[in-house]
Amino acid sequence: MGLLSRLGRTSRLLRIAIYGEPVLREKAKPISEVTDELRDLAERMITTMYENETRGIGLAAPQVGVSLRLVAIDTSSDGPPAPNASPGELLLEPRMPLILINPEITASSAETSVYNEGCLSIPEVSGDVVRPVAVRLKTRLLDGEAVDIECGGLLARCLQHETDHLDGIMFVDRMDEGDRAEIAEDLRVLERQAKRRAAKSRR
Ligand code: ZN
């Protein structure tokens, strides 16, 4: 498993890939088998998601430099579920943090909403993104359980953001042109930093 052995062994925390790093633009590979190594990666991704300064509600494996179709999510909140919670929120949120293996969005609602998104891989940048309000999620959980369920709320939003990462798409790609122009310079700065880091590590 060359993809996984590249990860550092010293820290439980994983380094987050930042905008401009090529791994974030790759199409991630499907997972054929859940190995102990993969379970370890999953555990470390959850730790990394929580430990981050701006606590994430989702983290996709490409964001820690591993181009595999695996996602960590935790959109749970304290307190009882909302009265209009979707079947997916009711089923999955009490079990979070959750690891999704090969997650797929198989259907999306026609109804959309706007939400201000951020991303651990694009520090200090946020922007409004329009997405369907509900999606159908087909995935396996880490223990092999198959899930095929309708999800709404913040869970639906998070699932779309994270599955996008598996296809090399980032939320800034989905912002409208005017908003994107406003953050273009921030993105260029991040890209230049990524190039400098890559050049340094080649030396
Ligand atoms: Zn993200």
Q: Please give the single-letter amino acid code of residue 142.
A: L
Q: What is the pLDDT of residue 11?
A: 66
pLDDT at residue 6, rounded to an integer: 52
Domain total for the chain? 1
Residues 35-59: tens digit of each pLDDT: 999 999 999 999 999 887 667 799 9
The answer to whether the predicted template modeling score (pTM) of the entire model surpasses 0.75 is yes
Q: What is the pLDDT of residues 24-35, one digit of tens each?
A: 999 999 999 999
The CA 58 to ligand 1 mean position distance, Å, reads 7
Burial category of 86 from C-beta neighbours within 10 Å (exposed 0-12, middle 13-18, buried 19 and up): buried
Domain with 179 in it: what CATH number? 3.90.45.10
Calpha distance 7→93 (Å, rounded)? 29
Residues forming the active site: 162
Bridge partners of residue 118, in order along the sequence: 126
Higher pLDDT, 66 or 50: 66
Residue 1 has what pLDDT? 41
Residue 23's alpha-carbon distances to 120, 188, 195, in angstroms, are 14, 17, 13
Q: Which pLDDT band, with edges at 50, 70 and 90, does 72 fall under?
A: very high
88-126 pLDDT, tens digit each: 999 999 999 999 999 999 999 999 999 999 999 999 999
Query: Which residue do the tokens 């430990």 mark?
Result: 51
> What range defines the domain where residue 153 resides?
2-202
Q: pLDDT over 90 for what percent of the chain?
A: 82
Judge whether residue 143 has pLDDT over 50. yes
CA of 187 to the centre of ligand 1 (A): 14
What's the gap in Å between 83 CA and the centre of ligand 1?
Answer: 28
- The pLDDT of residue 5 is above 70: no
CA of 18 to the centre of ligand 1 (A): 10
String of DSSP letters for 111-149: -EEEEEEE-TTSTT-EEEEEEES-EEEEEEETTS-EEEE
Mean pLDDT of 10-25: 90
| Sheet strands side by side (includes 146-151) | 58-60, 70-73, 98-108, 135-141, 146-151
Is residue 158 predicted with pLDDT exceeding 70?
yes
174, pLDDT greater than 80? yes
Query: What is the radius of gyration, based on Cα positions, of the chain?
Result: 17
Instruction: Compute, in angstroms, the gap from residue 118 CA to the centroid of ligand 1.
Output: 7
